[in-house]
């Protein structure tokens, strides 16, 4: 008869909760340590309070960081279908929306968290809130986990699920990374991703608040690193919206490694450069006595027109069209086609959805998520150097990695 394993899970986010449930289902005595006053605070804000729980597509190309084979092995061991069936079995049916995005059919992130919490109760997982782990020590075949001002927990197995540094207001502040670094793990550089992008332009303040259906690309050293389309919002620091969040992976990496990077914005992505030029020149020549601003009204959002006119080299938007020389008009049409801004950075950790970088995957066994350096230690969720695009991929990584580690830790 096998002896019941004492499993301590550090961190009660999506990955830690799933790991705790899997270990408990396999017969382990599970303690979940959570530094905040309750677990799963980040789940509550996922998907703007609706929780984009996974994505039906599970494409490995949507993930970054660790080698694709590593990510694929974990996702195949606990795929989307199994995740959805499991969530359904504990009381949370999900529905698929556009682009494969899956949400709980009740439409509420708070229900996702409660369903998981009630299942932790049913499985007799001991949940310790306000338990801020600070040190992980190997002791014989097992471990001790020290908490701030609190008890020391003894464990046969430890599952580190403390997240990265994104959204520190929800609990993940990077201490998990430091604890596993102290045990010899390599930590790849971390930077905020799925976050708004900072741009350099004298016109941002006046364009602040404009939303448009367009496209944008991150360019570095003449190469398009990534292009996204959809609703882009211009802000007083740069751009936000889902395309911006997805572009932030490439932008953040360039900024971190101090490579030059530009954002190429297409205000009219469905029209060719020739069509835009014909439209602009037609308006200017057919309305010689009107101001540039009046002649261009209707082509893009009104708030953009004075900025475009000045960026093209005109004195201001009140210049009459008959005084518009062709080269400047061509410059204006060029900006409407592609407007390029230097990328200066991203917004900070408090606005980031996810952490890029983290524990190097080469030191983790993808079949079990056990550390290759420290037997009995498992690494799951965002603490690992895996990050996904917007669309439910990050939570799927949390569910899959948590489940795989939880099951193996109980053996």
Figure out which of the listed residues 12, 306, 358, 366 binds ligand FAD, where binding follows CB under 6 A: 12
Instruction: Reduce the DSSP state of residue 130 to 3 states and report it.
Output: coil
Figure out which of the listed residues 16, 65, 345, 366 binds ligand FAD, where binding follows CB under 6 A: 16
> DSSP letter string over 55-124?
ETT--GGGEEES-HHHHHHHHHHS-HHHHHHHHHHTT--EEE-GGGEEEETT--HHHHHHHHHHHHHHTT
- By CB under 6 A, which span of 32-40, 68-76, 326-334, 338-346 interacts with ligand FAD? 32-40
- By CB under 6 A, which span of 21-29, 280-288, 364-372, 391-399 interacts with ligand FAD? 391-399
Residues 6+ apart with CB under 8 A from 323: none
| 106 in contact with ligand FAD (CB under 6 A) | no
In terms of DSSP H, where are the helices of 155-203?
A: 175-181
Q: What are phi and psi of 252, to 5 degrees?
A: -65, -40
User: Minimum CB separation from ligand FAD for residue 306, in Å?
Assistant: 34
| 71 in contact with ligand FAD (CB under 6 A) | no
User: Minimum CB separation from ligand FAD for residue 175, in Å?
Assistant: 4
Please report how many Cα atoms fall inside a 13 Å half-sphere around the Cα of residue 295, on the Cβ side: 25
| Token representation of residue 224 | 């398009």
Using only the alpha carbons of the chain, give its radius of gyration. 25
What is the Cα–Cα distance from 382 to 221, expressed in whole angstroms? 30
Q: Give the nearer residue to ligand FAD in terms of CB position, either 160 or 284.
A: 160
Query: CB count, 10 Å around CB of 2?
Result: 7
Q: Give the nearer residue to ligand FAD in terms of CB position, either 36 or 232.
A: 36
User: Minimum CB separation from ligand FAD for residue 48, in Å?
Assistant: 7
Figure out which of the listed residues 9, 24, 28, 35 binds ligand FAD, where binding follows CB under 6 A: 35
| 104 in contact with ligand FAD (CB under 6 A) | no
Number of residues that bind ligand FAD (CB under 6 A): 40
User: Minimum CB separation from ligand FAD for residue 402, in Å?
Assistant: 7
| 381 in contact with ligand FAD (CB under 6 A) | yes
What is the Cα–Cα distance from 261 to 221, expressed in whole angstroms? 7
| 46 in contact with ligand FAD (CB under 6 A) | yes
| 176 in contact with ligand FAD (CB under 6 A) | yes
Figure out which of the listed residues 240, 394, 400, 409 binds ligand FAD, where binding follows CB under 6 A: 394
Residues 6+ apart with CB under 8 A from 36: 12, 129, 130, 170, 171
What is the Cα–Cα distance from 131 to 133, expressed in whole angstroms? 6
Figure out which of the listed residues 395, 404, 405, 410 binds ligand FAD, where binding follows CB under 6 A: 395
| 87 in contact with ligand FAD (CB under 6 A) | no
| 14 in contact with ligand FAD (CB under 6 A) | yes
Q: Are strands 152-155 and 142-147 parallel, antiparallel or unpaired?
A: antiparallel
Pattern of binders to ligand FAD over 129-168, x per CB under 6 A?
--xxx---------------------------xxx--xx-
What is the Cα–Cα distance from 340 to 183, expressed in whole angstroms? 45
- By CB under 6 A, which span of 37-45, 87-95, 228-236, 268-276 interacts with ligand FAD? 37-45
Figure out which of the listed residues 171, 306, 358, 376 binds ligand FAD, where binding follows CB under 6 A: 171
What is the Cα–Cα distance from 51 to 102, expressed in whole angstroms? 8
| 374 in contact with ligand FAD (CB under 6 A) | no
What is the Cα–Cα distance from 402 to 159, expressed in whole angstroms? 9
- By CB under 6 A, which span of 83-91, 232-240, 264-272, 386-394 interacts with ligand FAD? 386-394
Nearest residue to 99 (alpha-carbon basis) of 227, 229, 232, 212: 229
What is the Cα–Cα distance from 321 to 68, expressed in whole angstroms? 55
Q: Give the nearer residue to ligand FAD in terms of CB position, either 8 or 265.
A: 8
What is the Cα–Cα distance from 6 to 397, expressed in whole angstroms? 24
Nearest residue to 345 (alpha-carbon basis) of 258, 262, 255, 261: 255
**Region 342-361 residues binding ligand FAD, contact defined as CB under 6 A:** 353-354
Nearest residue to 392 (alpha-carbon basis) of 167, 101, 89: 101
Q: Give the nearer residue to ligand FAD in terms of CB position, either 14 or 306.
A: 14
What is the Cα–Cα distance from 275 to 279, expressed in whole angstroms? 6
Interacting residues toward ligand FAD by CB under 6 A: 10-16, 33-36, 39, 41-42, 45-47, 51-52, 131-133, 161-163, 166-167, 171-172, 175-176, 353-354, 381-382, 392-395, 398
């Amino acid at each position: 008869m096998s002896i019941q394993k004492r499993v301590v899970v550090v961190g009660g986010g999506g990955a830690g909760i799933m790991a705790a449930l899997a270990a408990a289902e396999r017969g382990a005595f599970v303690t979940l340590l959570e530094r905040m006053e309750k677990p799963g605070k980040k789940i509550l804000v996922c998907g703007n309070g609706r929780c984009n729980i996974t994505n039906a597509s599970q494409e490995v190309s949507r993930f970054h960081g660790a080698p694709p084979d590593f990510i694929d092995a974990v996702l195949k061991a606990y795929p989307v279908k199994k995740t959805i069936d499991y969530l359904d079995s504990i009381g949370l049916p999900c529905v698929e929306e556009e682009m494969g995005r899956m949400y709980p059919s009740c439409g509420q992130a708070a229900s996702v968290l409660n369903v998981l919490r009630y299942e932790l109760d049913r499985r007799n997982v001991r949940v310790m809130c306000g338990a801020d782990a600070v040190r992980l020590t190997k002791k014989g075949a097992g471990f001790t986990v020290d908490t701030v001002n609190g008890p020391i927990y003894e464990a046969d197995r430890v599952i580190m699920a403390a997240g990265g540094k994104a959204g520190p207001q929800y609990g993940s502040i990077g201490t998990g990374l430091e604890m596993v670094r102290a045990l010899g793990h390599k930590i790849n550089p971390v930077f905020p991703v799925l976050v708004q992008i900072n741009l350099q332009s004298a016109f941002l303040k006046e364009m602040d608040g404009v939303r448009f259906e367009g496209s944008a690309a991150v360019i570095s050293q003449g190469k398009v690193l990534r292009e996204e389309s959809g609703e882009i919002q211009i802000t007083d620091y740069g751009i936000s919206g889902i395309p911006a969040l997805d572009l932030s992976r490439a932008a953040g990496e360039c900024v971190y490694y101090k490579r030059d990077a530009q954002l190429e914005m297409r205000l009219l992505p469905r029209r060719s450069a020739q069509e835009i030029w014909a439209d602009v020149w037609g308006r200017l020549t057919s309305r010689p006595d009107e101001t540039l601003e009046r002649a261009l009204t209707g082509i893009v959002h009104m708030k953009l027109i004075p900025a475009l006119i000045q960026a093209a080299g005109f004195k201001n938007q009140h210049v009459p069209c008959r005084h518009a020389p062709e080269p400047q008009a061509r410059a204006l049409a060029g900006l409407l086609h592609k407007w390029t801004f230097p990328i200066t950075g991203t917004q900070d950790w408090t606005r980031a959805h996810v952490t890029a970088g983290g524990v190097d995957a080469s030191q983790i066994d993808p079949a079990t998520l056990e550390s290759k350096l420290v037997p009995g230690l498992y690494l799951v969720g965002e603490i690992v150097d895996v990050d996904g695009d917007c669309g439910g991929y990050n939570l799927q990584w949390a569910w899959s990695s948590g489940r795989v580690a939880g099951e193996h830790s109980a053996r």
